[in-house]
Amino acid sequence: MPDPDWLVWAREMQAIAQTGLEFSKDPYDRDRFAALRRLSARIMADHTGADATQIEALFEAEIGYATPKVGVRGAVFDAEGRILMVREAIDGHRWTLPGGWADVNQTPAQSVVREVFEESGYHVRAVKLAAVWDRARQAHPPTAFSVVRMFFICALEGGAPATSLETSEVGWFAEGAIPADLSLRRTLPRHISRMFAHWREPGLPTEFD
């Protein structure tokens, strides 16, 4: 289900405040935008039980024109048709497709190749952009910021399983044996199903929104 209205509105308020503070030179307008940012933090704190001061500090760290954050996920398949997954250490050691935030000065494809290696130990090559999904429309648990994720089909090129500071286990899974304890903040069962579909049918168009 979509994010609740209050979260959508609070995110929009924060984005307006952030962009306003970036471009406004008038001190009175800047005060108004800062007040709007504080109000968005109070709304989120009221609905989540989080500390408003911490949320405000999180928002203050965001500067420049407000845009969605970009994440990447890699769907890597082995010769037996199994998909690569890792356990995320910071999310209760739950399973997910390897991935993370796109890095500055790297293309999304370069970012997903790096993330897969860092989290699993495997060298891969991005061969297809399978999906570009807005996080808020994918039934994930709510988050403070707008996020867009790019899902790539990747070819396995070498390496060996290796965990990292971010992951505690690496594994390969057949389509009918996907772990039940998924990191739903990162990967949903539907995402995995669609990645198998794109792997089986490379000609499928890229999915979006």
1 pLDDT higher than 90:
no
141 pLDDT higher than 80:
yes
- Classify 103 as helix, strand or coil: coil
For position 189, what pLDDT does the model report?
97
Pair 50, 94 in one domain: no
For position 83, what pLDDT does the model report?
98
Q: Any residues with CB less than 8 A from the CB of 82 and at least 6 apart, and which?
A: 172, 173, 174
pLDDT in tens, 93-117: 999 999 999 999 999 999 999 999 9
Pair 92, 181 in one domain: yes
Q: What is the CATH number of the domain that holds 89?
A: 3.90.79.10
Distance CA 113, CA 64 (A): 28
- Classify 208 as helix, strand or coil: strand
pLDDT in tens, 34-65: 999 999 999 999 999 999 999 999 999 999 99
Exposed/middle/buried for residue 147 (C-beta within 10 Å: 0-12, 13-18, 19+): middle
Mean pLDDT of 61-82: 96
Distance CA 47, CA 62 (A): 21
Mean pLDDT of 12-29: 95
The whole-chain average pLDDT of the chain stands at 95
Report pTM.
0.84
Domain boundary among 26, 43, 60: 60
Task: Give the total number of structural domains in the chain.
Answer: 2
**Domain housing 196:** 69-208
For position 2, what pLDDT does the model report?
75
CA nearest 17: which of 38, 1, 3?
38
